[in-house]
Structure 1
Amino acid sequence: MSDFVVLIPARLSSSRLPNKALADIHGKPMVVRVAERARLSKASRVVVATDHADIQAACQAHGIEVVLTATDHESGTTRLAEAASILNLAENDYVVNVQGDEPLIEPELINAVAAQLQQSCAPMATAAHLLTDYADFIDANCVKVVLNSQHNALYFSRAAIPWPRELMRSGAEIMPKDIPVYRHIGIYGYRVQFLHQYADLTPSPLEQAESLEQLRVLWHGFNIAVQITPLAPASGVDTAADLERVRASWPDILK
């Protein structure tokens, strides 16, 4: 596998959990814990891209490479495009975007997404896992993805897709058995050239309707390669309850 860089977008403001990136997890800020997990992958470099001096200082205090980016980015993806420019990454370099609220991220998942990107002709890659729970299938907070025969994404949605018509007509609240249902995992790989190109793409109506920025890529005709991972990853941190769950499981989950 060729070298790749992990970039971690981390902004200070968070509507559901104020100052989330700096939340303490057993003596270190969450963003530092994320970077430490990413360092266990095969990445040649791990860099935090932030909008705030407090996060920058926290990273520097723990020996984590960090760059300070603009405060007005519409998404983590455009923040990473700026970070790639600051770091002078080459157009043919590979970047994996690890979210700054994923302190339990598996290093092997990072490696798998990087490998999927490098093996594919697609300019972007992501991951998914097989969904087996009906409640998740119909949950709008659980994003699903439908694939083509080359394991490229056809569509992402908060709706239940693919829709097994006859099964759903029957009223049976069970998962379809004749076609796989995949849950999208929010980790992305990019070729740096495309990362810069994405920053110039106009938002799409599908992206705005579903509130899923990856739909901008499909709308403009680009492929997203999807790595299927056998296990569901640990959940990220969105709320105070999520943070307490991570704190409680921290000593055991990393054994």
Structure 2
Amino acid sequence: MSVLIAIPARYASSRFPGKPLATLTGATGETKSLIQRSWEAACLVNGADRVVVATDDDRIREAAVAFGAEVVMTSADCANGTERCAEAAQTLGGGFDIVVNLQGDAPLTPHWFVEDLVAGLRADPAAEVATPVLRCDGRALNGFLEDRRNGRVGGTTAVFGTQNHALYFSKEVIPYTPGTYADADTTPVFHHVGVYAYRPAALTAYPDFAPGPLEQLEGLEQLRFLEHGRSILCVEVEARNRQFWELNNPEDVSRIETMMTEMDMA
């Protein structure tokens, strides 16, 4: 089964304008843009047949071409990364069995997250979309709760049923947990990792679905699939001592740089 990885990137982020071109300094002191680090993460995925950056912005295109990426230009009218991936796949002429959306704000995504995701979708014919979830330890959960107490949008959490099909995703911390956790404790909360694998039919249909109230309230594009009765498989992945965080706000730059230093990532 052929696999396309598309990295959607837009310049006009309301929370962090110009985010794809923000720079991150690794453990060796080398500085690279967010979009370059995300592209490099995608290139490490085993089994990917093609990796492209999908953008509507010439500044991002020029930066991506300079570090060697293939770029697909898309419309400025794309409302989110899923719509941008759908347009990119169509522009490339289709022909892929699975399209992966590795969002351009997730440079710490380990290659095995994507590999497990693709394997999970292949193994579950009832699933139309798949996305990884990572069980939070106490450190991660306490970080989520601290963000919410301070009015920041942190990571997204997910809840799912016995067959691992998604019930809901939220920027709030769900499910509610009354207890407190030490950093190394296992918790019942799952961090939703911002990567998706789509079957082509589901991805093609997505732009024609009307955005529903849940998507609009939460600002989470995957809720459009759930609101239209489409099935999303949540694939539990293992951290393997890797830290993971998405760059949602300007203050996340220092958080991710600290993680990169701790993990000795160049």
Shared fold (TM-score, shorter chain, > 0.5): yes
Residue 111 of structure 1 corresponds to 115
Residue 32 of structure 1 corresponds to 36
Q: Which amino acid aligns with 1:162?
A: P
Paired residue for 1:83, among 79, 82, 88?
Answer: 88
Residue 21 of structure 2 corresponds to 22
Greater Rg over alpha carbons, structure: 1
Gaps of 5+ in 1: none
Q: Distance in 2 between matches of 1:142 and 1:17?
A: 15
Stretch moving more, 209-218 or 61-70: 209-218
Task: Look up the SS of the partner of 1:131 in the other structure.
Answer: strand
Q: Is the 8 A contact 2:155 2:245 kept in 1?
A: no
Q: Is the 8 A contact 1:204 1:216 kept in 2?
A: yes
Q: Distance in 1 between matches of 2:249 and 2:68?
A: 27
Gaps of 5+ in 2: 25-29
- CA shift for structure 1 position 88: 0.8
Task: Give the TM-score taking structure 1 as reference length.
Answer: 0.85
Q: Is the 8 A contact 1:131 1:137 kept in 2?
A: no
Q: Distance in 1 between matches of 2:121 and 2:156?
A: 21
Paired residue for 2:253, among 218, 243, 252?
Answer: 243
After superposition, what is the alpha-carbon deviation per residue over 1:129-171, rounded to whole angstroms, capped at 9, x for unaligned? 223436446947443222112111122234443347xxx5xxx
- What are the within-5 Å matches in structure 2 for residues 206-245 of structure 1? 206-231=214-239, 233-245=243-255
Q: Distance in 2 between matches of 1:208 and 1:18?
A: 20
Identity %: 37
Q: Distance in 2 between matches of 1:123 and 1:31?
A: 27
Q: Is the 8 A contact 2:243 2:259 kept in 1?
A: no
Residue 154 of structure 1 corresponds to 167
Count of aligned pairs between the two proteins: 246
- CA shift for structure 1 position 245: 4.1
- CA shift for structure 1 position 27: 4.6
CA RMSD of aligned residues (A): 2.7
After superposition, what is the alpha-carbon deviation per residue over 1:98-156, rounded to whole angstroms, capped at 9, x for unaligned? 11122222111111111111212211000112234364469474432221121111222
Task: Look up the SS of the partner of 1:199 in the other structure.
Answer: helix
Task: Look up the SS of the partner of 1:38 in the other structure.
Answer: helix
Paired residue for 1:71, among 69, 76, 90?
Answer: 76
Indicate how the Cα distance of structure 1 residues 54 and 159 shifts in structure 2: closer, same or farther if over 3 A, else same. Answer: closer
Q: Distance in 2 between matches of 1:106 and 1:19?
A: 24
Indicate how the Cα distance of structure 1 residues 58 and 142 shifts in structure 2: closer, same or farther if over 3 A, else same. Answer: closer
Residue 188 of structure 1 corresponds to 196
- CA shift for structure 1 position 240: 3.4
Q: Is the 8 A contact 2:165 2:231 kept in 1?
A: yes
Indicate how the Cα distance of structure 1 residues 109 and 233 shifts in structure 2: closer, same or farther if over 3 A, else same. Answer: farther
Q: Which amino acid aligns with 1:36?
A: E
Task: Give the TM-score taking structure 2 as reference length.
Answer: 0.81
Q: Which amino acid aligns with 2:3?
A: F
Q: Which amino acid aligns with 1:113?
A: L
Task: Look up the SS of the partner of 2:100 in the other structure.
Answer: strand
Residue 8 of structure 1 corresponds to 7
- CA shift for structure 1 position 208: 2.0
Q: Distance in 2 between matches of 1:249 and 1:142?
A: 15
Q: Which amino acid aligns with 1:186?
A: G
Indicate how the Cα distance of structure 1 residues 15 and 207 shifts in structure 2: closer, same or farther if over 3 A, else same. Answer: closer
Stretch moving more, 124-133 or 151-160: 151-160
Indicate how the Cα distance of structure 1 residues 137 and 242 shifts in structure 2: closer, same or farther if over 3 A, else same. Answer: closer
Indicate how the Cα distance of structure 1 residues 22 and 209 shifts in structure 2: closer, same or farther if over 3 A, else same. Answer: closer
Stretch moving more, 205-214 or 99-108: 205-214
Q: Which amino acid aligns with 1:124?
A: V
